[in-house]
Amino acid sequence: MAVLRPLAVGFLASAFLAACGTNGSPEASPPPADQSEAVGVADTAASGVVRPGAPGEPSRAWTEADRGGPLPHTEADVAFMQGMILHHAQALEMSALAPTRSQHPRILTLARRIEVSQDDEIALMVRWLEARGEEVPEVHVHDWDAEPEGPGHGDHGDHAEHAHHDHAGHGMEHDHGEMHGMLTPEQMAELAGASGTEFDRLFLEYMIMHHDGAITMVYELARSPGAAQDSEIYGFASHVESDQAAEIRRMEDLLASLR
């Protein structure tokens, strides 16, 4: 069973400290006039960088329009987005196996949900990187059901590009072994070779591991000095943590029902 960390709290705390300054103590300010104002300040703080309002006016999230372009980003931000593209791509590769190997309706629904949501998120990450002039990793998803085309077919380097991922790919190389939760080629082959209840069990075990790895990547981003100050990456990373933690809980319940 995956061990979940209290990442959302740590992530929000790191952004709060960044907004307050190096000593971690916000400047004294009068209490809000009413509860609605307090909620508004909390909402803007949750978006990342906070811009103090004029006297008598609420604070608000700092936007790209405030500085004429994207907020500053760090190497950790770029590495997170690049790595998460490849991390998501493997989740799509795993999910693509389900329709021909599982007959469990909840497994099929889960795989489809992962495919739709993570494909959209790949597009978001590609746009974020391109808008900042950063490299986009090349994404290839192996088609395990394709007929062999000759010697060497099935090697990791011979992966066929997934049609949904033609928006990603600038020739950038990346070592999957550096990312948390990624399946090895042997584990992917094991999953691809299974069917029925055995596939369902392996799919859930490996996807739980994979999701937990993504949460760990968010945790590491939150610990990187100056990272996630851009409200877009902050919101995306927070979504990854909460969404995948919720999916892990659902998968653990489903896995228990198979035993």
pLDDT at 255: 97
Q: Which fold has domain 75-156+168-258?
A: Ferritin (1.20.1260)
User: What DSSP character marks residue 36?
Assistant: H
Which residues have CB under 8 Å from 141's CB, separation 6+? 89, 92, 93, 96, 159, 160, 161, 162, 165
CA distance 77 to 72: 10
Q: What is the DSSP string of 139-185?
A: -----TTSPP-STTTTSGGGPPPPGGGTT--SSB---GGGSTTPPPH
Q: Where are the domains of the chain?
A: 24-62, 75-156+168-258
Count the Cβ atoms, other than its own, within 10 Å of residue 192.
Answer: 20
- To the nearest 10 degrees (0 to 180), the angle between helices 35-46 and 7-20 is 100
Q: What is the pLDDT of residues 208-242, one digit of tens each?
A: 999 999 999 999 999 999 999 988 999 999 999 99
Q: What is the pLDDT of residues 37-93, one digit of tens each?
A: 333 333 333 444 555 555 666 765 555 555 555 678 999 999 999 999 999 999 999
CA distance 234 to 228: 5
CA distance 42 to 38: 6
pLDDT at 168: 47
CA distance 224 to 220: 6
Bigger pLDDT: 192 vs 16? 192
What is the share, in percent, of the chain residues with pLDDT greater than 90? 54
Task: Name the β-bridge partners of 50.
Answer: 61
Q: How confident is the model at residue 152 (pLDDT cuts 50, 70, 90)?
A: very low
pLDDT at 248: 97
> Residue 60 in 3-state DSSP?
strand
Q: What is the pLDDT of residues 173-199, one digit of tens each?
A: 444 556 899 999 999 999 999 999 999
Count the Cβ atoms, other than its own, within 10 Å of residue 162.
Answer: 20
Which residues have CB under 8 Å from 218's CB, separation 6+? 7, 11, 80, 237, 238, 240, 241
| Angle, vertex CA 231, rays to CA 222 and CA 112, nearest 5 | 80
Q: Is the pLDDT of residue 33 over 90?
A: no
